[in-house]
Chains A and B, each alone.
Chain A
Amino acid sequence: MPSVKSLDDLKKIREDALKKQQLKETSGKTEVIVGMGTVGIAAGARETLKAILDIIEKDNLSDIIIRQTGNIGLDSYEPIVQVILPGEEKVSYGKVNPEMARRIMKEHVLGGEIVKDFQIEG
């Protein structure tokens, strides 16, 4: 792995991403939101988000919007992850550890099936 990264490398990445975008239809994007308030961070929200980013990177998942938000107001359920599929209602999950985050990514974000075991009202 080269230790110095240049902006030329990034330009190449950009061109590849543009080609990929042109091939795809405009099908809308899935949003994944992780709560990053003090309570969320203390409960492990950074590691939960890291697991989600790892999957996106390793499985090469384009068109997923990652967002973080401050306190969601459901402290006892932190870390909280919310998923919004294109054109669908927001689904909230509570006490999401990295293992659970990987399941949510696989079953809900990719498979379209809500992971009912982890779902909370919110």
Chain B
Amino acid sequence: MRELALHILDIAENSISANADEIKIIVEEDLQKDILRILIQDNGKGMDAETLAKITDPFITSRKTRSVGLGIPFFKAAAEACQGSFTIHSVPGKGTTVEAVFKHSHIDRMPLGDIESTLITLLMGTPEIHWIFEYRNNESCFIFDDKPIKETLEGIPLSEPAVMRYIREMIETGIQEVHLSGIMEATH
């Protein structure tokens, strides 16, 4: 995969498969510390210690449809290839947290990519899940929580065209504004 945003989508898919009903994604860019941090936290079924120990092994998967699961090993390798770190913490019955930290300026660091499309894909494809997203760029922050939106809609689906446009514009504008003000801060 050529974008960190695609890895985020893939890891969040694991959370969906683990029957999570609340998933939080944090993306943080800090140029002063020279890091890009990604955190994906779910309240799904979690994994026991044995499964957790094996989960970064490319030849292990909990799925039955295919014998090889590559998502987590790929993501781990991407972080470790640029002086970063990768941790996964899981408690059976409580959920799983995946954190990857990248050296921001590392030449091999993949671009963040189209994070807006990743979020819209997750929101529209799994409207039953409560999604929380935070994007931090230096001092600026955009927080998207779909709960007030769903409460206001009172049963009107997210796939209603005008609702889709509202959410898409909200996410795109929010991320772009934080990204731009982050760059402004960094250059002053």
Contact of B71 with A16 in the complex, beta carbons under 8 Å: no
Assuming the contacts A3-B177, A46-B121, asked whether A57 and B156 have C-beta atoms less than 8 A apart, the reply is: no
Q: Is the CB of A14 within 8 A of B161?
A: no
Give complex CA distance A57, B157 in Å.
13
Pair B121/A49 contact, Cβ less than 8 Å: yes
A36 touches B162 (CB 8 A): no
> In the bound complex, do residue B117 and residue A14 qualify as a contact, i.e. CB atoms below 8 Å apart?
no
Q: Is A50 part of the contact surface with B, judged by Cβ < 8 Å? A: yes
A120 within 8 A of B: no
Closest-by-CB residue of A relative to B170 is A5
Q: Which of A35-53 contact B (CB under 8 A)?
A: 36-39, 41-42, 46-47, 49-50, 53
Whether, in the assembled complex, B168 has its beta carbon less than 8 Å from a beta carbon of chain A, the answer is yes
Q: Are A16 and B13 in contact (CB under 8 A)?
A: no
Inter-chain contact B168/A57, CB cutoff 8 Å: yes
Per-residue CB proximity of B116-128 to A under 8 Å, as 1/0?
0110110011100
A97 to chain B, nearest CB (A): 15
What is the chain B residue whose CB lies nearest that of A69? Answer: B125
Interface centre among A18, A34, A41, A67 (most CB of B within 10 A): A41
Q: Given the complex of chains A and B, what is the CA–CA distance between A57 and B33 in angstroms?
A: 40
Question: Which of B63, B65, B124, B166 lies in contact with A66, CB distance below 8 A?
Answer: B124
Decide if B166 touches A5 in the complex (CB within 8 Å): yes
Q: Can you identify 26 A-B contacts, CB atoms within 8 angstroms?
A: A5-B169, A5-B173, A7-B152, A10-B149, A10-B152, A11-B152, A14-B152, A14-B154, A16-B162, A18-B156, A38-B71, A41-B6, A46-B114, A50-B117, A53-B120, A56-B159, A57-B161, A57-B168, A59-B161, A60-B161, A66-B124, A67-B126, A68-B124, A70-B16, A71-B66, A73-B66
